[in-house]
Structure 1
């Protein structure tokens, strides 16, 4: 039987946006649940603050999934910021940089219970000052595909080229503050080079956009799933 799947939503997104993806994975045979977040649950994290509130929800959901499925591991899917937040959760270094958690909280060190981490359009690097502190913690402690026994799969979308013109400004600005180059390809929010990790199974998919609310196809569209669900352990 396939391992259970836990989906961690992207920044400022609620679980309802992932209902279709959750159902599609269930139809493929994966027992799937989304971390039950609402948009307002992200408010304490705004402005580069601590991700501890999200880690608490993630940890609770993973433990419930393990118990309900009588499993020892899960496949973790992180969309957008959910991907790098998942790297904090997997890692063993105490995430105490904001002073709102102590080592005994144990909202991390989950690597023995995670068989694979699939990141969808995750900005694994950022030059933006609000996110840089958190991402510096991640990348300084867990560079690349850090744990050799965790399967890291990083999916990037190639649908929008950033440019200083109408229709491409949002992509240009988002790419610029993420990797320092606005004139590059990405999913409209995350540039390809930021969505990949050294040592991971890096996949780029043509024509997909960043968000489940984007027009057209996104990472979780049914016709796209076969391109990356084959990587789930």
Structure 2
């Protein structure tokens, strides 16, 4: 992969901020996905907490309030939800990566440049654990939040997490040696591929990866 000859913008990942719309329950994951046909299934009338708590990890450029609709929908299904506290301006912290020589080599590592995000995730996970009262919890990672969840699982104690649901997350780095293809993560996805557990379904940690298009209505 050829490095950019001129100064590049702060480290970015993939996918733009997204607003969630009409949704339905997905498989056994107690989460939701957007519908493209404009229809949606009705949530159950019983709003008591019957599922393990979920922690939502915002994607690049998103903030906590972008996930209010998703939080309300999950609540209707009895899923207590905590969103990692992230604001749009927080993402400017990624500019610290410009001072790391690995950024220019395309071999950037998640830490320390993304320690601020991982800390917010850890705080949300601890809050969800209190809601779980000893039960397991789920992670719902949107866009970059999905592969950052994999970094979190690798770097932090995660025995209480039994599900990772990712929404539109790129789990593999872009192909190398292809004209016009630039790794916007500057090597972060290479790091995830090499050093983090694979995003595959296991009895201990179930993965559900959702990718596709949606229509805003």
TM-score, length of structure 1 as denominator length: 0.58
Quote the Cα distance in structure 1 between the aligned partners of 2:81 and 2:211: 22
**Greater RCO, CA 8 A, separation 6+:** 2
1:119 counterpart SS class: strand
TM-aligned CA deviation for residue 22 of structure 1: 0.4
Q: Does 1:109 align with 2:172?
A: no
Name 1:119's counterpart in structure 2.
Answer: 166
Name 2:211's counterpart in structure 1.
Answer: 156
Name 1:197's counterpart in structure 2.
Answer: none
Count of equivalent residues = 146
Contact in 2 for aligned 1:3/1:71 (Cα 8 Å): no
Q: Flag the structure with higher helix content.
A: 1
Contact in 2 for aligned 1:18/1:34 (Cα 8 Å): yes
Q: Does 1:39 align with 2:93?
A: no
Kindly name which structure, 1 or 2, has the bigger radius of gyration based on alpha carbons.
2
Gaps of 5+ in 2: 1-49, 98-102, 175-181
Q: Does 1:144 align with 2:198?
A: yes
1:137 counterpart SS class: helix
Quote the Cα distance in structure 1 between the aligned partners of 2:57 and 2:134: 19
Structure 1 residues 10-89: aligned runs within 5 Å:
10-46=59-95, 50-89=113-152
Output one character per residue of 1:164-213: Cα deviation in whole Å (capped at 9) or x when no partner: xxxxxxxxxxxxxxxxxxxxxxx3xxxxxxxxxxxxxxxxxxxx16xxxx
Gaps of 5+ in 1: 92-107, 158-186, 188-207, 210-214, 217-233
TM-score, length of structure 2 as denominator length: 0.62
Q: Does 1:7 align with 2:61?
A: no
TM-aligned CA deviation for residue 147 of structure 1: 7.3
Contact in 1 for aligned 2:80/2:131 (Cα 8 Å): no
Name 1:133's counterpart in structure 2.
Answer: 187
Output one character per residue of 1:69-97: Cα deviation in whole Å (capped at 9) or x when no partner: 31342110000000000000011xxxxxx
